[in-house]
Chain A
């Protein structure tokens, strides 16, 4: 029996199972790194973009995306990385933003190009916070400190 080609929506639904290896509460789809999905008689072609160019996790995500689609019985699967296309924290979906919060991270503002806004402390909700360092444990996180509860916390950087 020949299996019908999956739709783009079906592929994206399957890829919800592939998580960012460093933020397991956020899928690659909700992170905004799946930039194109093409399906047709020749199989499925997925294009991915890195969040930050130097992100080590991308290679793993690429392998996991391919494994996920093959596990659905697809034989013709091509997963390519486009290093030129810009990524923005604006590409995070609402589910992606909830996932970041669930992982204990402060969110980037909704519009990365907008005015700088203080990060909201994930512990007490205060916005009386200060950037301590634009570099944290991964390239996509900055370190802030809360002026009210004094908690030091990580923010997913606006880009």
Chain B
């Protein structure tokens, strides 16, 4: 099995979960209602836990330990997509981002349970079980708010128009996409994207919300190759501030 290809995939999985986990944690203390404050904090904790498990697999392939991978890499070495890097914006943006991201995560995890790389297949099965609560949270709130006032629907639609083109960066191909598919590690990104698209359309049916038809997603590509939005650098600086004070400290 091609180890470089495996690491490429694992870094994308880990970095996306770490970065969106950190972003969602920014709602702690300022959520619109107490339950949502707790929900975003909990989903952050779940995602950071999933990132830690992926970093552990990377470590077992010969890279540095999980803490070092999370807190001691340059921005250029991150493989996160632009969607997860965006600031939290308003609640509608964070909710729609969570919705788009977690439906994509579901599609990917389902495929990865069949991966030819056994440790990843097993981990995907574990995460898939935990992940049903994030999925339930996203679809419940999107449907409920879309059935609410005109303003709620308008805000969700405007967040969807903004976030959907960014979400396409989740499925950006890399130099290893074909190798990973040929070796049965993971289906091609284009295959996962079309499954996600279908799931999105099914889930949004009857909500009055629609996916934007006119957009340019090119500006949101590059994350998988280390070309990030302007938001990742400042976020990493803040996230790693304490670790950077003394990288050798024992906690």
Contacts and interface: CB of A to CB of B under 8 A. Distances in A.
Task: Indicate the member of A52, A83, A85, A142 with the most B CB atoms within 10 Å.
Answer: A83
Contacts of B49: 50, 52-55, 139
Contact of A52 (B39, B46, B136): B46
Contacts of A146: none
Interface residues of A, number: 24
B56 A83 contact: yes
B45 A139 contact: yes
Given A133-B35, A143-B35, A86 B45 contact: no
A86 B125 contact: yes
Contacts of B126: 53, 83-87
Nearest to A87: B126
Contacts of B58: none
A11 interface: no
A80 to B, nearest CB: 11
Interface in A56-74: 56
Interface residues of B, number: 27
Contacts of A143: 35
A142 B132 CA distance: 13
A88 B129 contact: yes
A83 B47 CA distance: 14
A53 B38 contact: no
A159 interface: yes
Contacts of A54: 45-50, 52
B123 interface: yes
B119 A53 contact: no
A14 interface: no
